[in-house]
């Protein structure tokens, strides 16, 4: 066979990911170990000691960040699917991030009809997690504050459309192309896993995502998810 089967390709991705994962998590742990060894020297000054402790703690935080992001992605047991009301998932994600948003002087504005039927079928926790990763990046992209605008509508038949716009630093074309690749990050303490996980979740429920970004100007995601309602379910079953 000339072409690899899908299963083989999946195994390739998994082993590549495992290798990068142990590399990414090994680095901060090795660094922490080094600083702990340095700390055992009784002659170092209190300033130096505090500095080493601080670095060791930062390195451990980095390892924890990677595990947090990775474990969501690797979650092997698919939970039951449920009917998710997207406005609620957005509210929930925003509530989790409210303290970070406030600290960074970021406002979030939403615009959607109160009684919309923007329902999708999927795992609620994952959907919320996905929105959290996306919104968190937006907060981080606006170091001196700004606004995140979220709009939501259903096209009447088959899709729920979400747009999320920020006024952040934006991305170059090259960065847009790399978005979602494991460990792609431009941040000093980034993990580069958030977007990979978010994209997988969206793909997992049959959705699509379009990215538009202008450096220095902001980033727009247009996320389109298959709408869940009894009518479209029937239509899909018949076609």
Q: Note the residues at the interface with ligand ADP (CB under 6 A).
A: 133, 137-138, 141, 166, 168-171, 175, 179, 184-187, 190-196, 219
As given in the structure block, the two tokens for residue 128 are 């919320």
Output the smallest distance, CB 230 to ligand ADP, in A: 35
- Cβ proximity to Mg ion: between 34 and 190 the closer is 190
Judged by beta carbon distances under 5 to 8 A according to partner kind, the member of Mg ion, ligand ADP, none in contact with residue 169 is: ligand ADP
- Cβ proximity to Mg ion: between 141 and 159 the closer is 141
Task: Choose the binding region for Mg ion from 71-79, 83-91, 132-140, 215-223 (rule: CB under 5 A).
Answer: 132-140
- Cβ proximity to ligand ADP: between 75 and 185 the closer is 185
Q: Does 165 bind Mg ion (CB under 5 A)?
A: no
Question: How many Å apart are CA 119 and CA 130, to the nearest integer?
Answer: 16
One of 32, 62, 137, 159 touching Mg ion (CB under 5 A):
137
Q: Does 182 bind Mg ion (CB under 5 A)?
A: no
Number of helices and strands in the chain (H, E)? 7, 7
Task: Choose the binding region for Mg ion from 17-25, 99-107, 149-157, 192-200 (rule: CB under 5 A).
Answer: 192-200
- Cβ proximity to ligand ADP: between 129 and 227 the closer is 129
Output the smallest distance, CB 4 to ligand ADP, in A: 26
Judged by beta carbon distances under 5 to 8 A according to partner kind, the member of ligand ADP, Mg ion, none in contact with residue 172 is: none
The residues that touch Mg ion, with contacts defined as CB under 5 A, are 137, 194
């Amino acid at each position: 066979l000339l072409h690899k089967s899908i299963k083989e390709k999946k195994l390739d991705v998994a082993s590549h990911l495992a290798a990068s994962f142990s590399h990414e998590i090994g680095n901060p742990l090795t660094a922490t170990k080094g600083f702990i060894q340095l700390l055992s020297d009784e002659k170092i000054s209190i300033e130096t000691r505090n500095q080493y402790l601080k670095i060791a703690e930062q390195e451990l935080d980095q390892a924890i960040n990677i595990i947090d992001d990775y474990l969501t992605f690797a979650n092997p047991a698919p939970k039951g699917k449920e009917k998710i009301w997207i406005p609620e998932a957005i509210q929930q994600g925003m509530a989790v991030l409210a303290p970070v948003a406030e600290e960074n002087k970021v406002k979030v504005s939403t615009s959607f009809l109160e009684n919309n039927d923007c329902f999708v079928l999927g795992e609620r926790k994952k959907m919320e997690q996905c929105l959290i990763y996306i919104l968190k990046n937006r907060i981080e992209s606006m170091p001196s504050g700004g606004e995140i605008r979220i709009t939501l509508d259903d096209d009447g038949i088959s899709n729920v459309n979400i747009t999320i716009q920020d006024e952040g630093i934006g991305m170059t074309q090259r960065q847009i192309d790399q978005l979602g690749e494991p460990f792609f990050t431009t941040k000093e303490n980034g993990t580069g896993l958030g977007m990979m996980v978010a994209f997988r979740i969206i793909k997992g429920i049959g959705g699509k995502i379009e990215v538009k970004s202008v450096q220095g100007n902001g980033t727009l995601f247009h996320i389109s998810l298959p709408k869940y309602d009894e009518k479209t379910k029937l239509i899909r079953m018949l076609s």
